[in-house]
Amino acid sequence: MRFLLVEDNSDLALSVQKRLSLDGHGVDWAASLADAEDHLAAASYDLILLDIMLPDGDGRDFLASHRRAQRDTPVIVMTARSAVSDRVALLDTGADDYVTKPFDFEELEARVRAVLRRRSGVSQTRMTFADLTFDPLGATVSFAHETRELRSRELRLFEVLISAPDRIFSKGQLCDRLFSASEAVTDNAIEVYVGRLRKKLEGSGARIETVRGVGYRLTAA
């Protein structure tokens, strides 16, 4: 998944980027609201992590404008305000969730997973396709009484593919979902992760099909 982090504290931003990248997410960083708007004009995001106090304005105004423009990208607000009234106001403004600074990274990761599950309409943690069961929290696929672990980028790639079986994703679309804008990525990187994931699916009723000149899709074998 590709996230936009709007945070002016460079040390915190770097820490969040590193932590979420370990989970296989691509995280673009905007240090101001103006930077955030530039990123949103250039790319699509699965989630926005939004600070409140920014050098060129208030994140709450950005959030309200985001919703008025009918943008439905999920937003998790990172705030130092702990009063119940402040948290309620954030949710009423359009935040999908919030985390109070200073926060534990495990809590942030859990809130990210929860928001993304709600966003996709998936209330359960496991998904099924063909004869396999996918557990994104456990980072595993299971079939024929066998369980195989997925590494971070394999996991995120499979999340994208299983979210829309039989839909063709181009290499560019997959790069956008798996990597941040600051990462130097070639089409060959996607081929490598597709190859690794195919090996993990060997023996199951699911396969990743190459649609020549177009991209890849998950289909039943």
pLDDT tens sequence across 169-209: 998 888 877 887 777 777 788 999 999 999 999 999 999 99
Residue 168 has pLDDT above 60, yes or no: yes
Residue 81 neighbours by CB distance under 10 Å: 17
Taking the domain 127-220, which CATH number applies?
Answer: 1.10.10.10
**pLDDT at residue 163, as a whole number:** 84
Q: What is the pLDDT of residue 86?
A: 84
- Tell me which CATH code domain 2-120 carries: 3.40.50.2300
CATH 1.10.10.10 in the chain: give the residue spans.
127-220
3-state secondary structure of 22: helix
pLDDT band, very low/low/confident/very high, at 121 (cuts 50, 70, 90): low
Q: Do strands 47-51 and 75-79 pair parallel, antiparallel, or not at all (unpaired)? A: parallel
DSSP-H helix ranges across the chain: 10-22, 33-42, 59-68, 84-93, 105-120, 152-162, 171-178, 187-201
Is pLDDT above 70 for 20?
Answer: yes
| This prediction's pTM | 0.67
The residue-averaged pLDDT of 20-40 equals 92
For residue range 43-88, what is the model confidence (pLDDT) as tens digits?
889 999 999 999 999 999 999 999 998 888 999 999 887 777 888 8
Q: Is the pLDDT of residue 122 over 70?
A: no
Q: How many CA atoms lie within 13 A of 193 on its CB side?
A: 24
CB 128 within 8 A of CB 134: yes
Range scoring the smallest mean pLDDT among 38-52, 94-108, 135-149, 179-193? 179-193
Q: Would you say the C-alpha torsion 118, 122, 23, 34 has a positive or negative sign?
A: negative
Which 8-state DSSP code applies to residue 70?
T
Residue 210 CB neighbours (<10 A): 14
pLDDT at 157 over 70: yes
- The answer on pLDDT for 123 being more than 70 is no
Q: Where do the CATH 3.40.50.2300 domains begin and end in the chain?
A: 2-120
Instruction: Please state the rounded mean pLDDT for residues 94-103.
Output: 90
Which pLDDT does position 45 carry in this prediction?
92
